[in-house]
């Protein structure tokens, strides 16, 4: 996902194009395609083209969960790669944290834009969606980027806490960002810190296990030059742009097809 050419949905810092791992970009490309498919289904349900479509149970529920988990896992993996490369280049210390913090704030700001647009259109509410989570995680994960097994343990802890919070309801909305929902709460995009920050930490564990200072520790073939992988990688490198533009593009298409009404 891009804010500029070097910034992606995963919220990572810039990586040298010559040293990119094709599988990271390609997997992010797969995730962005899955996201567009799910949102297309949501639009078709919302505009009553498929009024009986069940999105939050059965197949589509798990499709959406796999998509989100893949995106968020790649946040942690990419952060470890970026952190290690910057540290090796002598760019560590407070200055590096400030770079992570600035990028996290930019992505969080895009999340706030999404919140305002959704509220203005009257199609629901977004208080802490996936961009809020990623923006938060880019900065909050910094102290954990040199840890390995601790992140795996914390991922398990966040999962347990998430299951506990499923049965907790309160009478105030101030902790929705954390995962504490008020009675009757619903949002069209909701990724609270508990349990989803745990998936970022799991990604850091994966990154510190399979992408060490010695390079990739996975016996993968060099498919980076193949046409399908190049296309997927292109989508992965531009995932923020796609994320921000795909819904307006889908809506325009539906207006042109007579499926959706004009907003004015």
Residue 183 has pLDDT above 90, yes or no: yes
What is the structure's pLDDT at 179? Answer: 97
Q: Where are the domains of the chain?
A: 102-214
Q: How many CA atoms lie within 13 Å of 36's alpha carbon, on the beta-carbon side?
A: 19
Summarize pLDDT for 21-47 with one digit per residue, the tens: 999 999 999 999 999 999 999 999 999
The whole-angstrom separation of Cα 100 and Cα 162 is 26
Of 19-23, 112-116, 184-188, 205-209, which gets the smallest average pLDDT? 19-23
8 Å CB contact between 10 and 28: yes
pLDDT band at 90 (very low <50, low <70, confident <90, very high): low
Q: What is the pTM of this model?
A: 0.89
Residue count of the chain, please give it. Answer: 264
- DSSP string of 33-88? HHHHHHHHHHHHHHTTSSTT---SSHHHHHHHHHHHHHHHHHHHHHHHHHHHHHHH
Residue 218 to residues 21, 63, 83, Cα–Cα distance (Å): 11, 26, 19
């Amino acid at each position: 996902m891009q804010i500029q050419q070097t910034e992606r949905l995963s919220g990572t810092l810039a990586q040298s194009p010559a040293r990119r791992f094709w599988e990271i970009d390609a997997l992010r490309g797969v995730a962005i395609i899955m996201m567009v498919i799910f949102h297309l289904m949501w639009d078709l349900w919302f505009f009553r083209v498929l009024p009986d479509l069940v999105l939050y149970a059965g197949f589509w529920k798990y499709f959406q969960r796999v998509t989100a988990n893949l995106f968020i896992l790649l946040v942690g993996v990419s952060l470890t790669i970026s952190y290690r490369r910057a540290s090796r280049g002598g760019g560590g210390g407070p200055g590096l944290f400030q770079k992570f913090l600035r990028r996290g704030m930019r992505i969080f700001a895009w999340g706030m834009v999404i919140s305002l647009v959704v509220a203005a259109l009257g199609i629901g509410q977004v208080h802490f969606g996936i961009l809020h989570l990623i923006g938060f995680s880019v900065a909050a994960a910094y102290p954990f980027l040199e840890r390995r097994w601790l992140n795996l343990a914390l991922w398990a802890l966040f999962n347990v806490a998430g299951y506990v919070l499923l049965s907790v309801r309160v009478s105030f909305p101030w902790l929705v960002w954390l995962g504490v929902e008020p009675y009757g709460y619903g949002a069209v995009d909701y990724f609270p810190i508990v349990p989803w920050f745990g998936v970022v930490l799991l990604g850091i564990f994966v990154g510190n296990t399979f992408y060490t200072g010695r390079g990739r520790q996975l016996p993968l073939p060099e498919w980076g030059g193949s046409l399908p992988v190049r296309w997927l990688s292109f989508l992965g490198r531009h995932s923020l742009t796609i994320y921000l533009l795909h819904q307006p593009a889908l809506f325009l298409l539906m207006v042109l097809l007579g499926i959706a009404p004009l907003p004015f």
